[in-house]
Amino acid sequence: MTKILWAGADKTTDKFLPPLRTALRTVLPNAQLIVGKHQPKEIEYLVYAPNGPVQDFKEYTSLKLIQSIWAGVDVILSNPDFPKIPLARMADTGMAEGMSDYILGQVLRHHLSTDRFTAMQPGQWFNTETPILARNRKVAILGLGNLGQFCGKRIATQGFKVLGWSRSQKTINGIDCYAGQDGFNAILSEADIFVLLLPNTTDTENTINRDAIARMKKGASIINAGRGEAIDDKALIDALETGHLSQATLDVFRTEPLPKDHPFWSTPNLLITPHVAAETRFETACDFTAENIRRGETGEPFLALVDRNLGY
């Protein structure tokens, strides 16, 4: 009998367990999902969050896979005692759809500059500008993982010219792909709206710094729903205050919740959202988890395995 341990945070247990049991019954009817008291040496699969009950892995000697219920794995990999066995990030369709809803909504908001109308006073009626068409607006996706590709393709269906940048060269229908430092420099000078969906690694920290912002077009805008560490906070504030960047939307931050005294709260043309872009959808997350465990039992390749050398 396949033994699976639920090791997520208590606050998600009641929401996660019913659909996970249903998903497991569909693909592995003889699997045993264990919650609470257990024998670590018997556990083969760990459904895991780093804020859950399992912090010491020494006795879990039979593990075949640790399935994270989070899309980001930087917190997990920061644990020096984390075991060197296969680790899969969450890459379910529900999370991708939710992220693309958020990103598309913010791209359209930036594209149409709708924020300027929120400050209209009675009697003001400035409608003299002809809006730019989507086909004449370039949107750059920085980070072409599962979420980046999904969002980029959806934005492209709305008529935008989509540029994508990643560490290594990729070929994706509907997206003009760039890679490496030369590709990064090229995309900085071309795009009008930048969407950041980068993981948090030593290589991605401060990807958007003063030099990168200086290379952007005057009036460009930024949407960050990946990791807060990807942006140099002070450089972004200065660019918004001087008007070099027209606006920004941030859903992720170096410290969360964002401290009430952080200068972002008073920065002009900056929308703050409280890390809501891609909440876990429990049914699709459980389907993904059950499928990965099924693959482990049938010898098929796991989905969304983390490359520890890259950090994602």
**Catalytic site residues?**
227, 275
Are the C-beta atoms of residues 68 and 89 closer than 8 Å to each other? Answer: yes
- The Cα-based distances of 7 to 35, 47, 48, 87 in angstroms read 8, 6, 5, 14
Sheet holding 161-166, edge to edge: 176-179, 161-166, 138-142, 193-196, 220-224, 245-250, 270-272
Rg of the Cα trace of the chain?
Answer: 22
Computed from CA positions of residues 71, 74, 167, 249, in that sequence, does the dihedral angle turn out positive or negative?
Answer: positive
Closest to 90 in 3D by CA, of 75, 69, 66: 69
SS3 100: helix
Phi/psi for 169 (5° steps) reads -65, 135
Residue with token string 């919650």: 35
Q: What residues have CB less than 8 Å from 19, skipping those under 6 apart?
A: 282, 283, 286, 287
SS (H, E, C) 66-85: EEECCCCCHHHHCCCCCCCC
Residue with token string 């045993």: 32
Q: What residues have CB less than 8 Å from 121, skipping those under 6 apart?
A: none
Instruction: Indicate the Cα dihedral angle 51, 53, 55, 60, nearest 10°.
Output: -130
What's at 1, amino acid-wise? M
